Chains A and B, each alone.
Chain A
């Protein structure tokens, strides 16, 4: 028997699903082939690993974590399913509103300032108004004095 014959029947040999005759013939081969003995041992190790994985248990806290995740999903559904266009559009709109505010502000700052001449004439105008008021008050006082007389 050749090694390849053993290689081709590795699974079946270890599962014990071969005929008695075939099983015995592979066993005989193993008694005279070190390489196949090593391969058989490695394969046995892998089978044991599968058994080990089969009995692995999840963490005892995992149930709480799953339930918390479900609760948060249904208490705050908006956190999960915000449409893409809202997620992009909302900050874009806020950003453009801010930009527009800055532009309007800087434009009005440029055009809204009066020139020095205009300021002077405004001051003069106020002074004239004050003088008019003073004169009219004086005239009223004179009228009162005349009436009193």
Chain B
């Protein structure tokens, strides 16, 4: 199915086109959402909303960019909105799920103490990393995540963000400087405790 056929199929609400769309882009959508959210379950849930958005707004797709670039834009916007919502909800929900999830409880009882401590330490570091990333200004965050996690080349990031190549370079450089500063500060606090 060509990109044009896919677009026409989605506009006709054709079931085969929906299947093809999900087959082609599910990995891209879920992984990008995951890099922003830092949680696979949340990313998978959000991907349903993202695909509905893609289908509903397909008629507004201007063919000035590739379909995948347009899907990236929708994914990034939805993910950033979700991060904002999660931030408003606070970390209480995540903590609650850890304490209430019977699978987690069972696993904790069966697991060796060293495994628990390694898991806990990794989770702590992952939280530290995502907290630092989420503190970056939005443009720096998008450019950094797409480059470092999603391994997108600068040219593709420039197209997704609708900015020039030099702007992307500058955003990624500033993101690294800010992250560096934040992480050094966090580590020095961590060492002192």
Query: Which residues of A are interface residues toward B (Cβ below 8 A)?
Result: 7-8, 10-11, 35, 38-39, 42-43, 45-46, 49-50, 53-54, 56, 58-59, 62-63, 65-67, 69-71, 73-74
**Are B187 and A50 closer than 8 Å at their CB atoms?**
no
Q: B23's contact among A39, A63, A70, by CB below 8 Å, is which? A: A63
Binds A, one of B30-38, B57-65, B108-116: B30-38
14 pairs from A and B in contact (CB 8 Å cutoff): A8-B180, A11-B180, A42-B187, A46-B128, A50-B129, A56-B34, A58-B30, A58-B34, A62-B26, A62-B30, A62-B44, A66-B47, A70-B22, A70-B52
B55 to chain A: closest residue by CB: A70
The A/B interface has a contact count, at CB < 8 Å, of: 84
Once A46-B125, A53-B149, A63-B23 are accepted as A-B contacts, the answer to whether A70 and B51 lie under 8 Å apart by CB is yes
Are A59 and B44 in contact (CB-based, < 8 A)?
yes
B18→A35 contact, CB < 8 A: no
**CB <8 Å contact, B40 and A66:** no
- Residues from chain B with a CB closer than 8 A to the CB of A8 are 180
Contact of A7 among B19, B43, B48, B184 (CB under 8 A): B184
State whether A69 and B26 are in contact (beta carbons under 8 Å apart), knowing that A7-B184, A43-B183, A50-B129 are contacts in the complex.
Answer: no
- Whether A67 touches B151, Cβ cut-off 8 Å, given contacts A11-B176, A56-B40, A62-B47, is no
Contact check: which of A46, A49, A74 meets B13 at CB < 8 Å? A74
